[in-house]
Structure formats: C-alpha cells, structure tokens
Amino acid sequence: MPKDTYYLTAHCPGNLGTVDVVTRYLREQGCYVVEMQTFDDVLSRHFFIRAEFRPPREHLFDEHAFCSEFASRAAGFDMQWQLTARHYRPNVVIMVSRLDHCLNDLLYRYRTGQLAVEIPAIISNHPDLQRLADWHHIPYYHLPVSDENRDEQEAQILGIINECDADLVVLARYMQVLSPAMCTELTGRAINIHHSLLPGFRGANPYHQAYEKGVKLVGATAHYINNDLDEGPIITQGVEMVDHSHYPEQLIAKGKDIECITLARAVQHHIEQRVFLHNGKTVVFTS
C-alpha cells in the first residue's frame, strides 16, 4: 500500500446521505479511494465509515483546507470524524511485568518496520526486562507497586505517558489491576491482552486448570481496558484447537503464541484507524 495515503474515519446517526457526504467530497477533491468500508448498525441506528484515499498530489495536499471544508459538510450529519496520515507514527507506551513474549513480539515488529509506531517508553513493575529495552535503546522505567504506594505509582505512570505524548498504551502482560481512575483516564487508548479459555479459569495456573478439565480450545482476547477486569470492549480474538495430547506446558506455549498474534493485530487495527468505540462496544473494519 502506498505510504502517501490518508485515513478518513467518521461515525454519526444513520441517515440518508451519510455515504454520499464522504465519497462526493473525496471525488471533488480529486482523491483516489484505495479502500472503503462502512457499517450501518440498524439496532443503534448509527453509521460508521472508514475511507483510505490517496490525494492527487501528496506534497501539495493541504490538510487544513481539506479538514476545514469537510467539517462544514459533516456538521449537517452530526458526524464525528478524523483525518490521519498513513505515514504518521503514533507514540506507543508499553507496560509489562515479567512475562516477555508479547513485549518481545511487539519489539520485533517495531524493529523490522512491520509495526509503524514509535515506542518512547517501556514501563514495568519489575526490573527483569531492562536489558531487552536497553538492547532496543528504549527508556525503561521500573516502578515497583504495592498496596501502600499504588496511587503514587499510577501517578508516575500517567506522568510518563503524558510526557511521552502517548497516543496508545499497550498492556503487554502487565499483571496489575489498574484503578478505576486510571482506566477512565486511558479510555479508548489502552489495549490489554489476556488468555481466553472456556470454561473461564481464573486465579493461578489457568492452563493447568484447563488441562485438568480436558480443554479443547485455547485462545486470547485483546480489548480496550475499562473498570471491569478483562471485560473491556473487544478488538481482536484468536483461538486454536487443542486436545488431550497437549500437556500444560504445551498449552501455555500455544497460548503465548496466540496472545502475541492477537495483541499485535489489535495494535495494528488501532493505529490504522480501523476501530470505532461506541456505546461500550467496538466496530472493527479488518483489513
């Protein structure tokens, strides 16, 4: 895909002309639509659209003029919208505890250019992954947490996030429950990953519990955080069949692989403006 494209994303109440107001304007501006996806939610009567387009001459494209004119047209539809350049690399702060598989995967995709982001900071409540961050020349903040200093520690985390001007926070197996205030502060811009086993196995050693029950599916869920533990609006999910021949260690290994892929896909969808968060649930236009 050419790097000179832009994402125009919008949502509004579902009314006649919502597609036309976007497509007509792009045509009038001489923009070539590379990809377009729409969804009309008949239950909530809400409309969603994502258009990736290439302007006629990227080096002459006036984003301010484009937005100013489109704003006047979108206002009549009560449309909330956003224009994002594909070449923009959002700042992503990663939070992690001791498990390194998701962090390793994200850093590999970052290092090889598969994930077009900047990572200005890695935050952890343990010192274990300092060397991995150092190898990638990324600042590593070790902020231990306990019941006594939790508020202070979260204030430090938010300070780093704000200082980095983070567009997104990724909890790459950060094994701490965030406070309601923290969740509210990061609404719509913090993604978490966790295993998905059915039945639900909570507490210590979930894969060993799953093995004892003869589980047949191993999966993972990536979602935006909210005040309900591991129950935020879902972005991506992954699943794979297993059987009686998979011992706990094999289930764990398979689960880690699925977590890596599922989390990376969620981050990719987010930075490509494919995810709409509306009324506590998501609309995701997959590639």
Active-site residues, by number, are 230
Surface-to-core class of residue 36, CB atoms within 10 Å of its CB (0-12 exposed, 13-18 middle, 19+ buried)? middle
- Answer yes or no: are the C-beta atoms of 138 and 122 closer than 8 Å: yes
Handedness of CA 134, 139, 145, 149 (dihedral sign): positive
SS3 string, 258-278, reads HHHHHHHHHHHHHHCCCEEEE
Distance, in Å, from the CA atom of 248 to the CA atom of 215, rounded to the nearest integer, reads 10
DSSP letter at 136 equals T
Distance, in Å, from the CA atom of 142 to the CA atom of 267, rounded to the nearest integer, reads 23
Surface-to-core class of residue 59, CB atoms within 10 Å of its CB (0-12 exposed, 13-18 middle, 19+ buried)? exposed
3-state secondary structure of 8: strand
Distance, in Å, from the CA atom of 32 to the CA atom of 220, rounded to the nearest integer, reads 37
Tokens of 137: 């020349």
Tokens of 87: 């070449």
Tokens of 217: 């599916």
Alpha helices in the chain (DSSP H): 18-28, 63-74, 101-111, 130-135, 150-163, 180-185, 206-212, 248-271
